[in-house]
Chains A and B, each alone.
Chain A
Amino acid sequence: MALRIGAAAAPGRAPDNKTGSWRVFMPIVDMEKCTHCGTCTLACPETAVSDEDGEIRFDLDYCKGCGVCANECPAKAIKMILEEN
């Protein structure tokens, strides 16, 4: 993203600010326990969780590691693990 004078931006450019680097803990899902209830996709404040084609996916470009998905999961299928680079 090139800088624009005055930090001006056209609509729809918020995704340019990738927030995944803020994360300390990352979510992992146990598909054996997942019931595809969709709670995690609704609870995620970044809409970074999707449930498509039978797979739970976390968009790690934007997931800040807040853990709301793990906390809300009724089946306790999501765990937050320390992300080590």
Chain B
Amino acid sequence: MEGSHAVAEAAKLCRPEVVSAYPITPQTHIVERLAEMVADGELDAEYLCVDSELSALSVCLGSSAAGSRVYSATSSQGLMLMAEVVFNVAGMRQPIIMSIANRALGAPLSIWNDQQDSLSLRDSGWFQLYGEDVQEMTDQHFIAYKAAERHDVLLPGFVCFDGFILSHTYEPVDIPTQEEIDAYLPPYVPYNKLDAKSPLSMGMYATPDYYMEFRYETDLAMQRAGNAISEVGKEFGEMFGRDYSMHTESYRMDDADVAFVALGSICGTVKDAIDEMRADGIKAGLVKIRTYRPFPAKEIAHALAGVPKVAVLEKNISLGTSMKGIVGLEVKDALTGTGIDVYSYVVGLGGRDIRKKDIRAIAALAEKGEGNMFYGLRTELL
């Protein structure tokens, strides 16, 4: 099944009552499929066509505030156009789940994959899950709704996966039945909802006397989201045989001399490269980050304990910072005081391929202590 269609199936199985989205490459197939499902009567939801992503997420926010389970999906520029509402959804504590088919940001215009879009909204108050393959990103939708809607969390979440590389790839996928998902994910019970009989306003004005406390409470909810994702991920494993109780996945980390840290589909390439390196006597390993927000700092520090060199593969750039990568800064923070060397490598921006030989070359750079750099620049263009 195509990745986008698997995501649409997952969204359908979660029984959203409202879907609103605006089509954008490479998210388009998801919302096209959901529109078909509603038109064909397979999915009993309001599908609201709107004029932009700003309207789409605004519709979602209002619908969620009215007590509905809500779904949306976007990419890149669409997410940026939503950004004003993205922060409001989190502040109003509405557990909307949105799929992000990761794509580079303009300018220059690019429809191809990197992860700058969702990573740029890391501080928005949405939790962020990243899938490595179609199965994982499909499963993460069920987990996301169940964690988001818990009354000790009440935060929205992104389920992120690499545009084209995953959204347009056909892979075998185990899609649970409706009965199975109904047993896993009970109907949404809103904490607050808009109701004319019991009027309420949300996202009210807060003077300097109150604003900071709201942000503090949202941060606490984000910390609790980490436990919630872990607990519902474990429960998913017990029901479906695929365990997501960990926010990270370690691959061949025993006795590793160099460890990669990465998010998303690149992890598959890295695992293959690690197998080759191990066969050649190079002790490499991988820590894949599945939950990026809340950032699983303790789990990462535990997984990387004792590894001399850490190479963070970044499909993003934090312009003007010394490390250059967004994720590397946080990994380095998680490892403060351990003496472990952490380097960022900016790779694959705007859809540039990352090959096994590139992973091997980056391992060699990390061993030499060279990092915090772009890797794979076409110097003849510069």
Contact = CB atoms under 8 A, between A and B. Distances in A.
A3 B214 contact: yes
Nearest to A11: B199
A6 B207 contact: no
B381 interface: no
Interface string B189-208: 00110000001111111110
A19 interface: yes
Contacts of A10: 199-201
Interface in B293-338: none
A46 to B, nearest CB: 14
Given A5-B93, A6-B93, A19 B204 contact: no
A37 to B, nearest CB: 33
Nearest to A6: B93
B31 interface: no
Contacts of B200: 8-11
B154 A9 contact: no
B217 A8 contact: no
B131 to A, nearest CB: 28
Contacts of B201: 8-11
Interface residues on B, range: 20 to 34
B199 A5 contact: no
Contact of B202 (A6, A13, A17, A19): A6
B248 interface: no
Given A13-B204, A17-B205, A17-B207, A7 B92 contact: yes
B204 A5 contact: no
Contacts of A7: 91-92, 202-204, 206, 214
SS class of chain B's interface: helix, strand, loop or mixed?
Answer: loop
Given A3-B214, A3-B217, A8 B207 contact: no
Interface in B198-227: 199-207, 209-210, 213-214, 217
Contacts of B204: 7-9, 13
B94 interface: yes
A6 B89 CA distance: 9
Interface in B88-107: 91-94
A21 B209 CA distance: 10
A5 B207 contact: no
A20 to B, nearest CB: 11
Nearest to A13: B204
Interface majority SS on A: helix, strand, loop or mixed?
loop
Interface string A17-40: 111010000000000000000000
Contact of A19 (B199, B203, B207, B214): B207
A14 B205 CA distance: 8
Nearest to A17: B207
A1 to B, nearest CB: 7
A1 B210 contact: yes
A4 B93 CA distance: 10
Interface centre among A9, A14, A19 (most CB of B within 10 A): A9
A81 B94 CA distance: 46
Contacts of A18: 207
A8 B207 CA distance: 14
B92 A6 contact: yes
Given A10-B199, A10-B200, A5 B205 contact: no
A74 to B, nearest CB: 33
Contacts of B154: 5-6
**Residue picked from A5, A11, A18, A19, most chain B C-beta under 10 Å:** A5
Contacts of A4: 192
Interface in A15-72: 17-19, 21
Interface of A: 1, 3-11, 13-14, 17-19, 21
Interface of B: 91-94, 154, 191-192, 199-207, 209-210, 213-214, 217
9 contacts: A3-B217, A5-B191, A6-B202, A6-B203, A8-B92, A8-B200, A9-B201, A14-B205, A17-B209
Which 8 A-B residue pairings sit nearest by Cβ, starting from the closest? Answer: A6-B93, A6-B92, A9-B204, A7-B204, A8-B192, A8-B202, A11-B199, A17-B207
Given A3-B214, A5-B191, A6-B192, 11 more contacts: A3-B217, A5-B154, A5-B192, A7-B91, A7-B214, A8-B201, A8-B202, A8-B204, A13-B204, A17-B210, A18-B207
